[in-house]
Amino acid sequence: MKIRTKLYLSAAVSICLIIILALLLLFFSLREREELDKSELVNEFTKGIAELSILTDEYIAYKEKRMEEQWQWKYRELSKILEKAEELTELNIIRLSFESLNKSFSLLKMNYQEKQELLRKNAPKEEVDRTIILEERVAARVRMETQKLITLAFDVAENSRQRASAVQQKEN
């Protein structure tokens, strides 16, 4: 084989290796960006759940219309985040718990309205006491569901950070 042919062949092999390395670098960069984006979404959701927890406690304590509206607004914002992260299967359990939290909060609002209506009508004490007991139970349920969501969100965020870190280590 001529020297010229050997040089062309070695140049072609070198170019192929450089292309392969560039493609691998591109692949790992895209994976890293994808994992970081997922992690960012999960972190944003986790922060939002913590804020929703505070709003929940404020609503339970004061039951003001403004706090209810803030809670609903925050819930819609977090729903949008979950929609953005629709492809994340890790968030499926969070989605279910999140929907359950909304149902429980709606039940809490309805129970409070029922209690207010009974008080306006001067209903028997037993009926008012029943709604108060139910309200306390539902409030406890809402708090537990909120704490469960915070825990789940932190777990998913931690797993997401670990995956992003693993992709970065593979790249190096």
In the chain, what are the domains?
Answer: 34-171 (1.20.120)
Mean predicted lDDT score pLDDT of the chain:
89
pLDDT digits (tens, 9 = 90+) for 139-167: 999 999 999 998 988 888 888 788 878 87
Six token digits for residue 119? 């008080």
**pTM of the entire structure?**
0.78
Q: What is the pLDDT of residue 134?
A: 94
**Taking residues 71-75, what's their average pLDDT?**
96
Contacts of 149 (CB under 8 A, 6+ apart): 49, 52, 94, 97, 98, 101
Q: What is the pLDDT of residue 113?
A: 93
pLDDT digits (tens, 9 = 90+) for 3-46: 889 889 999 999 999 999 999 888 888 888 887 887 888 889 88
**CA–CA distances in Å: residue 118 to residues 65, 108, 138, 142, 149:** 19, 15, 18, 23, 33
**CA–CA distances in Å: residue 60 to residues 65, 83, 137, 138:** 11, 28, 11, 10
